[in-house]
C-alpha cells in the first residue's frame, strides 16, 4: 500500500508493524499546517493497510512533538479561517485516533507537549523514555486546554493530581507520568524502540478479531465520556484564541524566540 502523506510524517513497514514517525527533528516535532493535516489523515490510510496489525507512533530526533509550531500558531491571530480550520482538524485527529481499529503504541522518545502530549496519551500503550516529559501549556499562553488535556486527563488520572499540571503547564517527568496514569511505563532511551517493537510483535501475534474488538469496546467508553467535554473544550479554546491575553502572550513568545 502507498501512503499519501507529506514529508513531515513518515510510515515505515516492519512486517505487520507500521512505524509512524513525526519527522521534524530540527523543529522538535512542532506541528505545522502540513503535519497537522497528516496527523488527521494518516489513521484512515493505516486502517486501509490490510497487512498492518499494530502501529508505533514516535518522533524523530530529541522530541516526540513540542506542540504547535510557533509561526503557524501565530498566523492564526490574523487569519480566523486558518484558526477555525485548525480547530476542526484538531477534533478530527482525536476522533480518528479514538475510532482507529488497530492497537497503537506510543514510543515517547522526548518531550511531548500540547497536541503532542494529547496524541501520546490517546495511544493504547504509552512507553516513555525516562528522560522524556509530558506537558500541556495551553493555559500558560492564554488558551483553554481544549484539544485533549482538560477533557480526557480526568479519565486517566485523579482530578486533584492533574489540575495543578493543567493550570500551570508544568512539565511532568516520565516517572511522574507513569505514577499519575498518563503513561504505561518508563524505558531507558536506548531501549525504547526495541521494547516498542517487541510489544508490537506480541500484539500482532494475538488473535486480531478479539484484540481489535476489545480495543473498540474500551474506546466506546472513552468516546462516550469525551463527547461533551471535547465539544465544550474546542468551543472554549476558539474563544480564548481571540482574546487579548492570548495575543499578548503569543507575541511575547515569538519575540523571545526572535521571530
Fold of 9-191: 2-enoyl-CoA Hydratase; Chain A, domain 1 (3.90.226)
CA dist list (Å): 62 to 16, 97, 114: 26, 24, 16
Q: Which residues contact 238 (CB under 8 A, 6 or more apart)?
A: 83, 84, 87, 146
pLDDT tens, position by position, for the chain (259 residues)?
889 999 999 999 999 999 999 999 999 999 999 999 999 999 999 999 999 999 999 999 999 999 999 999 999 999 999 999 999 999 999 999 999 999 999 999 999 999 999 999 999 999 999 999 999 999 999 999 877 788 889 889 998 988 999 999 999 999 999 999 999 999 999 999 999 999 999 999 999 999 999 999 999 988 888 888 888 988 899 899 999 999 999 888 888 877 6
- Cell numbers for 42, please give them: 494518516
Distance from chain centroid for Cα 87: 14
Three-state DSSP class for residue 215: helix
Task: Tell me how long the chain is.
Answer: 259
- Cell numbers for 168, please give them: 500551570
> Cα torsion for 153, 154, 158, 162, to the nearest 10°?
50
Among left, alpha and beta (phi > 0; psi -120 to 50; other), residue 101 is alpha
Whether the predicted model's global pTM rises above the 0.85 cut: yes
Amino acid at each position: 500500500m502507498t501512503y499519501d502523506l507529506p514529508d513531515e510524517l513518515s510510515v515505515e513497514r516492519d512486517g505487520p508493524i507500521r512505524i509512524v514517525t513525526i519527522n521534524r527533528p530540527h523543529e522538535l516535532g512542532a506541528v505545522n499546517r502540513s503535519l497537522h493535516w497528516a496527523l488527521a489523515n494518516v489513521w484512515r490510510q493505516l486502517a486501509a493497510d490490510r497487512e498492518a496489525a499494530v502501529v508505533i507512533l514516535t518522533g524523530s530526533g530529541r522530541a516526540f512533538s513540542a506542540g504547535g509550531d510557533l509561526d503557524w500558531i501565530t498566523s492564526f491571530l490574523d487569519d480566523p479561517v486558518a484558526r477555525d480550520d485548525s480547530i476542526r482538524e484538531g477534533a478530527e485527529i482525536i476522533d480518528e485516533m479514538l475510532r482507529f481499529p488497530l492497537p497503537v503504541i506510543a514510543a515517547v522518545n522526548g518531550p511531548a507537549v500540547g497536541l503532542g502530549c494529547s496524541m501520546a496519551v490517546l495511544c493504547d500503550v504509552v512507553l516513555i523514555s525516562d528522560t522524556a516529559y509530558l506537558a500541556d501549556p495551553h493555559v500558560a499562553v492564554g488558551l483553554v486546554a481544549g484539544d485533549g488535556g482538560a477533557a480526557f486527563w480526568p479519565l486517566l488520572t485523579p482530578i486533584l493530581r492533574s489540575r495543578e499540571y493543567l493550570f500551570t503547564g508544568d512539565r511532568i517527568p516520565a516517572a511522574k507520568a507513569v505514577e499519575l496514569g498518563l503513561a504505561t511505563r518508563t524505558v531507558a532511551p536506548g531501549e525504547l524502540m526495541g521494547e516498542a517493537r517487541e510489544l508490537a510483535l506480541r500484539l500482532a501475534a494475538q488473535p486480531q478479531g478479539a484484540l481489535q474488538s476489545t480495543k473498540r469496546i474500551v474506546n466506546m467508553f472513552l468516546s462516550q465520556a469525551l463527547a461533551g467535554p471535547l465539544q465544550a473544550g474546542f468551543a472554549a479554546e476558539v474563544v480564548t484564541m481571540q482574546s487579548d491575553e492570548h495575543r499578548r502572550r503569543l507575541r511575547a513568545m515569538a519575540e523571545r524566540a526572535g521571530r
